[in-house]
Amino acid sequence: MRAFLYSIVAVFLAVLANPSMADGMKHDGIMVEQPWARATAGPAKAGAAYMTLVNHGEATDRLVGAKSDLSARTEIHTHLMENGVMKMRQVEGIEVAPGTPTVLQPGGLHIMFMGLKAPFKEGQELPLTLVFENAGEVPVTFKVQGVGASQPMQNHDHSKQGHSQGS
Ligand SMILES: [Cu+2]
């Protein structure tokens, strides 16, 4: 009986450890919460996506890149003040330490889409792949909010995901 219980636990743990069997947004300890973007205005050729990166693993990981078919180039950016002017600059990577959520948000870190093939329209759910040093490629579906949105929309459907994984 005891061995039987252990095997049940083992199967359960295997499901937890295998991202394809468990929650689609959880990959080797990295969880991407509330990915979102603002709709782009008119002819804008650039857009940005924001999200919170949570590391449920034991070791620090790093976001080292982003891939997307939505734009010619997809980069990791931050904002910084230079001579009193807010500027964007590409960064090599973003450290994601266990227990410390890393927030990408307007005015700070963001995923930048340069040379957009089509504008971001409110209500769209678009694919993006984040590349982590340890966790590897993590597919994300981000939701496009209104042009003036300053934070991810709070869902009232009591669903943590907010939407299904598109990939
Ligand atoms: Cu940028």
Domain boundaries, the chain: 26-145
pTM equals 0.75
- Which of 16-25, 32-41, 52-61, 106-115 is predicted least confidently? 16-25
* Average pLDDT score over residue span 95-114: 95
Say how many Å lie between the CA of residue 37 and the centre of ligand 1.
12
Say how many Å lie between the CA of residue 40 and the centre of ligand 1.
13
CB 149 within 8 A of CB 36: yes
Which CATH architecture is the domain 26-145 placed in?
Sandwich (2.60)
- The encoded tokens of residue 56 equal 């449920």
Say how many Å lie between the CA of residue 110 and the centre of ligand 1.
6
Residue 104, CB-side half-sphere exposure with 13 Å CA sphere:
30
Say how many Å lie between the CA of residue 157 and the centre of ligand 1.
31
Q: What is the pLDDT of residue 141?
A: 98
* Average pLDDT score over residue span 25-47: 85
Using DSSP bridges, classify how beta strands 94-96 and 61-67 pair: parallel, antiparallel or unpaired. Answer: antiparallel
Give the helix ranges, DSSP H, for the chain.
2-17
Say how many Å lie between the CA of residue 87 and the centre of ligand 1.
8
Nearest to 49 by CA among 117, 130, 118: 130
Say how many Å lie between the CA of residue 34 and the centre of ligand 1.
19
